[in-house]
């Protein structure tokens, strides 16, 4: 019998079958591929809702998973180039008590199956169940726009954040990338992309490029930049 591990945000018990995936900070950390030995590698970080699948708001039913074709193409291309693909997803519906880890896992499994059907795979998944804190100072370091999930992935998977990219549909995705030290954030036009375009653009600065309004097929076409010589 393991001890009962709780998601601190909502004091929800984590079902026994998922306790190995939820750490003491309440963060879902799932490595689907082993870290590669040798020098740290660039990765492609992807937001999930509104970026890889259509935004439906507190998604908790596998039947509501509808992949975005351009995102699947980017995942398949990254796989072909041996660039690790890492999901970093805010799932505050868990911390708010709208649904639990079982529903979350069922959605993730459906998505993984659809990605596999398209010929792709995800190398790791990080999900923050933490709800927004009323006091910004009390915010979880893992909930985007904080960079905690990216930093954790870098240490788990031996990733080079200084050469990695992030794509998402919210300015908070782009900001998390900037705060993690990435050189590029890509705001997809899907999901909340139109709403957040101006805010995302304002995050660009020295050493941090922001691409706005272009779909992930265009990102896929540039992924060779993360893997010179591997095309
Ligand atoms: Mg999103």
Ligand 1 centre from 1 Cα, in Å? 37
Residue 223 CB: number of other CB atoms within 10 A? 21
CATH number for position 134: 3.40.50.1000
Q: Does residue 123 fall inside a structural domain?
A: yes
Q: Does residue 74 fall inside a structural domain?
A: yes
Ligand 1 centre from 129 Cα, in Å? 14
Confidence of residue 11 (pLDDT cuts 50, 70, 90): low
What CA–CA distance (Å, rounded) separates 51 from 188? 7
Ligand 1 centre from 229 Cα, in Å? 31
Average pLDDT over residues 177-199: 98
Average pLDDT over residues 141-167: 97
Confidence of residue 5 (pLDDT cuts 50, 70, 90): low
Ligand 1 centre from 77 Cα, in Å? 21
pLDDT number for residue 199: 98
Ligand 1 centre from 173 Cα, in Å? 7
Q: Does residue 1 fall inside a structural domain?
A: no
| Residue 18 CB burial class (10 angstroms; 0-12, 13-18, ≥19) | middle
Q: Is the previous residue joined to 91 through a cis bond, with omega within 30 degrees of 0?
A: no
Q: Does residue 231 fall inside a structural domain?
A: no
pLDDT number for residue 2: 41
- Whether 164 and 45 have beta carbons less than 8 Å apart is answered as yes
Q: Does residue 101 fall inside a structural domain?
A: yes
Q: Does residue 150 fall inside a structural domain?
A: yes
Instruction: Give the pLDDT confidence of 94-121 residue by residue, as tens digits.
Output: 998 899 999 999 999 999 999 999 999 9
Instruction: Give the pLDDT confidence of 39-91 residue by residue, as tens digits.
Output: 999 999 999 999 999 999 999 999 999 999 999 999 999 999 999 999 999 99
* Distance in Å from the first CA to the final CA of the chain: 48
- Active-site positions? 47, 49
Ligand 1 centre from 54 Cα, in Å? 9
What CA–CA distance (Å, rounded) separates 82 from 41? 9
- Domains held by the chain: number: 1
pLDDT number for residue 228: 78
| Residue 149 CB burial class (10 angstroms; 0-12, 13-18, ≥19) | buried
- Residue 6, pLDDT > 60, answer no
Average pLDDT over residues 28-35: 93
- Which residues are registered as beta bridge partners of 209? 184
- Whether 53 and 111 have beta carbons less than 8 Å apart is answered as yes
Q: Does residue 61 fall inside a structural domain?
A: yes
Confidence of residue 10 (pLDDT cuts 50, 70, 90): very low
Ligand 1 centre from 168 Cα, in Å? 6
Of 218, 215, 222, nearest in space to 189 by CA: 215
CA R_g for the chain: 17
- Whether 142 and 22 have beta carbons less than 8 Å apart is answered as no
Ligand 1 centre from 46 Cα, in Å? 9
Range of the domain at 92: 6-226
Q: Does residue 78 fall inside a structural domain?
A: yes
Instruction: Give the pLDDT confidence of 160-185 residue by residue, as tens digits.
Output: 999 999 999 999 999 999 999 999 99
More confident residue, 7 or 66: 66
């Amino acid at each position: 019998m393991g001890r009962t591990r709780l998601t601190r945000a909502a004091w929800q018990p984590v079902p026994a079958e998922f306790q190995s995936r939820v750490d003491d900070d309440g963060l879902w950390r799932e490595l689907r591929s082993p870290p590669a030995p040798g020098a740290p590698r660039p990765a492609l970080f992807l937001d999930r809702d509104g970026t890889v699948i259509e935004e439906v708001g507190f998604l908790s039913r596998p039947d509501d998973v509808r992949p975005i074709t351009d995102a699947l193409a980017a995942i398949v291309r990254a796989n072909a180039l041996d660039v690790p693909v890492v999901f970093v997803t805010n799932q505050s519906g868990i911390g708010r008590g709208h649904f639990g880890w079982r529903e979350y896992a069922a959605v993730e499994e459906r998505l993984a199956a659809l990605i596999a059907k398209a010929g792709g795979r995800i190398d790791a998944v990080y999900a923050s169940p933490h709800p927004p804190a009323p006091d910004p100072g009390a915010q979880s370091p893992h909930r985007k726009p904080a960079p905690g999930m990216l930093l954790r992935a870098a240490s788990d998977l031996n990733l080079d954040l200084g050469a990695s990219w992030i794509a998402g549909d919210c300015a908070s995705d782009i900001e998390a990338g900037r705060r993690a030290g990435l050189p590029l954030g890509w705001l997809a036009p899907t999901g909340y992309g139109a709403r957040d375009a101006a805010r995302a653009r304002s995050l660009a600065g020295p050493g941090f490029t922001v691409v706005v309004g272009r779909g992930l097929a265009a990102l896929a076409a540039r992924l060779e930049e993360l893997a010179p010589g591997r095309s």
